[in-house]
Structure 1
Amino acid sequence: MEQIKVLIVDDEPLIRHALSTILATDQGIVTVNSVQNGQEAVTYCEAHEVDVVLMDLQMPIMDGIEATKNIKSLEDSPEILAITAFSSDDYLVPVLVAGASGYLVKDTEPGEIIKAVYSVHNGSAAISPSVSADLITAVRNVQRTPQDTADLIDDLGLTNREMQILGLLSEGFNNTETSRRLNISEATVKTHMAKIFMKLEVRDRVQALIAATRLGLIEIPRDA
C-alpha cells in the first residue's frame, strides 16, 4: 500500500514531535520531513513529493497563510491541512482563501488528526468541530447572478455599508482592520455586524460568511 507522504510545519519542536508520533501510529501515513517555518515548507515542497502538509499558521520568517499561497501555486501541489491553536475565523478565512483544504485546532484528538489527513488526501474537507465544516463548501462553491444578488440585497435590507463590511469579512478582515479600512470606529463596525447577523439570521461572523456566500451576496477572493 502506498503511504500518504506528510510534511509537518511548525515552529515548536514539541508540536512537530507530537504530530510525528501521532502519524507514526498509522501504517498508511509516513512523515517525510518536519520544518520550522513557512519558507522551509515552500522550499521542501518545490523539491520533493508531498501529499499533505500539516501547516501551523503563526510562524517566523513566513507564516502559514503565505506559505499555503506559495505551495498551492506549485504544479501538482499537495493538500494543505492547517493545524493551529486558534479556532477564530480571523485565521480560518484567510487560510481557506489561500487554498487550504482543512482546518484543525491543536487539541484535536489524535485519531481525528489521522482521519483528517486521509480526508484531505482524498479530496474532502476536514475541519475541527469548533468551526463550521460548511464554510469550506461555501468558499469552494460560489455562484453569483448579478441581478438576483441586487434584488436579494434589497429584499434583505442590507445597506451599502453593511455590504462593504461583508466584503471585507470575505477577505479575512477582523473588526479592527475593518474599522481602519473604512475609517469608522470599531464600535460602529460591531453595530453594523450585529445588524448583519439579524438580517441574515445568524449568530456570528463565520455563520454570516457562510450565509452571505451561499446567497451569492459576496464572493470569496481566490488567488490566481
Structure 2
Amino acid sequence: MEQVKVLIVDDEPLIRNALGTILATDAQIVTLDSVENGLKAVEFCQNHEVDVILMDLQMPIMDGVTATREIKSIKNSPAILAITAFSSDDYLVPVLAAGASGYLVKDTDPAEIISAVHAVHRGTAAISASVSSELVSAIQVAYRDTTQEVEDLISDLGLTAREVEILNLLAKGLNNPEISKLLKISETTVKTHMAKIFSKLEVRDRVQALVAATRMGLIEIPRDS
C-alpha cells in the first residue's frame, strides 16, 4: 500500500496536533513532522522527501504564500494544500498563483481534509466549497486579462471547442464522471481532454486551470446564489 508522506506547517501547536490526529485516522497517510513556520518547511523539504504539505498562510518568519513559492521551485516538489482560518481572496489567489493545488478552511470536515490530501497527491485539486465565491471575485475582478478577444485567444492557445466546453463544465464544479455522463463520452476521453487543456494552459491541475482560464477571460465561474 502506497503511503502519502505529509508535512504539517502551522504556527499554532493546537492546530498542528489536531491535523496530526485527523491524518492519523487514515492508514495510508504518514505525518513526517510538523513545523511552525514557512522557513522551516522550506528547509525540511530541501532535506526530506515529502508528498503533500498542509500549509498555513499567516505565520511568523516566513508566511505560507512565500513558503509555497519557495518550495515549488524545488525539483520534484510536493503538492501543497493551503489550510487556513481565512477564506479571503487576500490569501486565496496568491497561494494558488504560488503553486498550491488546493485551499481549505480550518473548519473543514476531517473526512474532507483526508480526501483533499489524497486528491492533491494524485495530481488533482481540492478547494473548500465555502471559498468558491472568493475565488470568483478574486480572479475575475483582480486577475482577469481582457487585452485580447476571447475567440482569438482560444485560437492562439489551440483549444478545441470540446476543450472549451469541458473547461466551462469544470468551472461549474462538475467532476470527470459527471462531465462524461453529460457529454456522453468515456471518462478516459474526459481525462485525455483534461490533460490537453492542462498542457495548453501550462498548468498542473484543475484549480490552476480555473485560475488561468478565468484570468484570461476564457470562462466565467458561476457565483454562489
Match of 1:8 in 2: 8
1:43 and 2:13 matched: no
- SS of match in other structure, 1:7: strand
Matched-pair contact (CA < 8 Å) for 1:145–1:216: no
- SS of match in other structure, 2:131: coil
Gap runs ≥5 in structure 2: 154-210, 220-225
1:80 and 2:90 matched: no
After superposition, give the CA deviation of every residue in 1:73-118 in whole Å (9 maximum; x if it has no partner): 0000000000000001111000001000000000000000000000
What is the alpha-carbon distance in structure 2 between the residues aligned to residue 73 and residue 97 of structure 1?
13
Matched-pair contact (CA < 8 Å) for 2:6–2:30: yes
Q: Relative to structure 1, is the Cα distance of residues 7 and 133 closer, same or farther in structure 2, using a 3 angstrom cutoff? A: farther
- SS of match in other structure, 2:116: helix
Match of 2:123 in 1: 123
What is the alpha-carbon distance in structure 2 between the residues aligned to residue 26 and residue 151 of structure 1?
47
In the superposition, the TM-score normalised over structure 2's length comes to: 0.63
What is the alpha-carbon distance in structure 1 between the residues aligned to residue 77 and residue 133 of structure 2?
22
Match of 1:155 in 2: none
RMSD across aligned positions (CA)? 3.3
- SS of match in other structure, 2:132: coil
Aligned pairs for 1:1-224 (under 5 A) are 1-132=1-132, 135=135, 147-148=148-149, 213-216=215-218
Gap runs ≥5 in structure 1: 153-208, 218-224
Offset, 1:147 = 4.4
Q: How many residues align?
A: 158
What is the alpha-carbon distance in structure 2 between the residues aligned to residue 211 and residue 74 of structure 1?
26
After superposition, give the CA deviation of every residue in 1:43-72 in whole Å (9 maximum; x if it has no partner): 000000000000000000000000000000
What is the alpha-carbon distance in structure 1 between the residues aligned to residue 110 and residue 148 of structure 2?
47
